[in-house]
Structure 1
Amino acid sequence: MRPAVAVVDDASLIRESIGLLMSGLDVVAAVATVEELVRRDPVVDLVLLDLHLANLEQQPDVRQGIAAIRTLTGRGHRVCVYSQEERRFVLAACVAAGASGIVSKALPRERAEELFLDVAAGGTAVPQPVVGILEVLVRRDCITLLSERQRQILHGRARGLSYAQVARELFVSESTLRGYWFDLTRSLSDSLRSLTPGEIERALGLAPGDLLEFWADDGTTDHKDWWRIGRGR
């Protein structure tokens, strides 16, 4: 059975085309804002969310970015960010806010659909730049409770190695390693959500306060702050 999916994107071409181009998804709602999706309240397996939804000078009350993720996850939705955003701290903040996956709009259609299906089925999709951040946090003991094998797998993936390459290095089958990776990324995502901005900043050598705009611990990220982040300030 195809997973039921909602799409939140202010680009009408994206909203209208995903269901046509990705036959493995059953798009039951396609809206421009999180507020509209909340009003409709559809029952879905996954919400595909663009991070930058509107011109906040004209629509200051539209939730986007971290605030949008927290609103949707707070209502019990699994969220997969689908965006052109590439800055690794922004992407890591999305995971910390509760996103189960992050998929780049630059990916080929087939690969993006494959990742959406994985996340809808309960998996995670963590891009390599975020994997690199997680590996640093593990090495500096901000994230613990990993086995030596899990650390080896994380190290390989953080170096950009494929499943097949890591499997050969560790003398396991690729299918076995994919199972390890599934459990590992879910555990790391949960652990990242439990860390404070201060802990992340110290581990990564950032200045105090650098991440406060990205990590909204209480779900009250100021929309204008996120707009400034999106514009690169």
Structure 2
Amino acid sequence: MTAGAGVAARVVIADDHTLFREGIVEICDNEHDLDVVGQAGHGELAVALVRRTGPDVVLLDVEMPGPGAEETLTQMLGVPEPPRVAILTMHDDARMVSRLLAIGAQAYISKSSTREELLAAIRAVRNDSDRVVLSVAKETVSRLERPAQGPLSARELEVLGLVARGLSNAQVAGELYISEGTVKRHLTNIYLKLEVRSRMSAINKAMAMRLLPAATETGAPGR
């Protein structure tokens, strides 16, 4: 869900440290363009809040109790109108950054960041679905890993199979009940894994690797 121009962004804050969480709530509540609609101290509650309140942005603690950051993030992004998720962490772990960005997080923010950096990150991901914000040490950024090469995930194969039939991003999103932004992120990961730069190249390489049936009927891939 995306807040319109002039409408305060709806924010859910998920962190199990009460004082830290309440501090962020106070910071956000003092901003005219941010509206905190829920707080959670557990991963399962955070997902439930996302489903119930439909926030624009979620601030998600990476070490919160519950199913784990990766599963919690996956569930949040699987709702019909997924929020944009900014990860909060005490640790600049390059492997964790890479994994969560690959799943679909749009920001990775160190808890040592300043108030201004936090607010800038929230606004950046709220206003631009294609932007990724990293508020971590330069050394961490330099050690970021590319997504692992090799077979595509089941969801990536679903996306690429529909693209191979000539469906546009919007049509793929409709078929799979996900957002168009999520489709774009899947395609980005597919291109990286297959080392290609276009939809048609991805389709052709996937067929050559027998990841897609060679008999798949392809139309002119949409955008």
TM-score by length of 1: 0.53
Identity among equivalent pairs (%) = 23
Task: Verify the 8 A CA contact 1:7 1:47 in the aligned structure 2.
Answer: yes
Whether the 8 Å CA contact 1:97–1:193 is kept in 2: the answer is no
The aligned residue for residue 112 of structure 1 is: 118
**Is the aligned partner of 1:53 residue 2:64?**
yes
Deviation of 1:46 (Å):
0.6
Aligned mates of 1:30, 1:2 — CA distance in 2: 17
Aligned to 1:73: 77
Q: How does 1:35-184 map to 2 (within 5 A)?
A: 35-40=44-49, 41-54=52-65, 62-75=66-79, 76-123=82-129, 124-127=131-134, 128=138, 131-132=141-142
Q: 2:189 aligns with which of 190, 193, 207?
A: 193
Superposed CA RMSD: 3.3
What letter matches 1:30 in structure 2?
A: Q
In structure 2, the gaps of 5 or more residues are: 1-6, 147-181, 196-223
Give secondary structure in 2 for the equivalent of 1:5.
strand
Are 1:12 and 2:24 matched, yes or no? no
1:66–1:39 Cα change, 3 Å: closer
Query: Shift of the alpha carbon at 1:129?
Result: 5.4
Maintained 8 Å contact 2:121/2:133: no
In 1: Cα distance, 2:20 partner to 2:42 partner = 13
User: Hey, what's the Cα distance between the residues in 1 that align with 2:36 and 2:102?
Assistant: 26
Question: CA contact under 8 A between 1:84 and 1:106: conserved in structure 2?
Answer: yes
Q: Which runs of 5+ in 1 are unaligned?
A: 55-61, 138-185, 201-233
Question: RCO (CA 8 Å, sep 6+): is it higher in 1 or 2?
Answer: 1
Instruction: Give the corresponding residue for 1:32.
Output: 41
Q: How many residues align?
A: 145
Alpha carbons 1:5, 1:46 under 8 Å: kept: yes
Contact kept, 8 Å, 1:91 with 1:102, in 2: the verdict is yes
Deviations 1:181-225 (A, max 9, x none): xxxxx9x965653378x889xxxxxxxxxxxxxxxxxxxxxxxxx
Spell out, residue by residue over 1:84-108, the C-alpha distance to the aligned partner (whole angstroms, 9 max, x if none): 1211111011101111111111111
Query: In 1, distance between residues paired with 2:188 and 2:27?
Result: 33
Please say if residues 103 and 125 of structure 1, whose CA atoms lie closer than 8 Å, have aligned partners that are also in contact.
no
Structure 1 CA distance for aligned equivalents of residues 188 and 90 of structure 2: 22
Q: TM-score normalised to the size of structure 2?
A: 0.55
SS in structure 1 of the partner of residue 101 of structure 2: helix
Q: SS at 1:6's partner residue?
A: strand
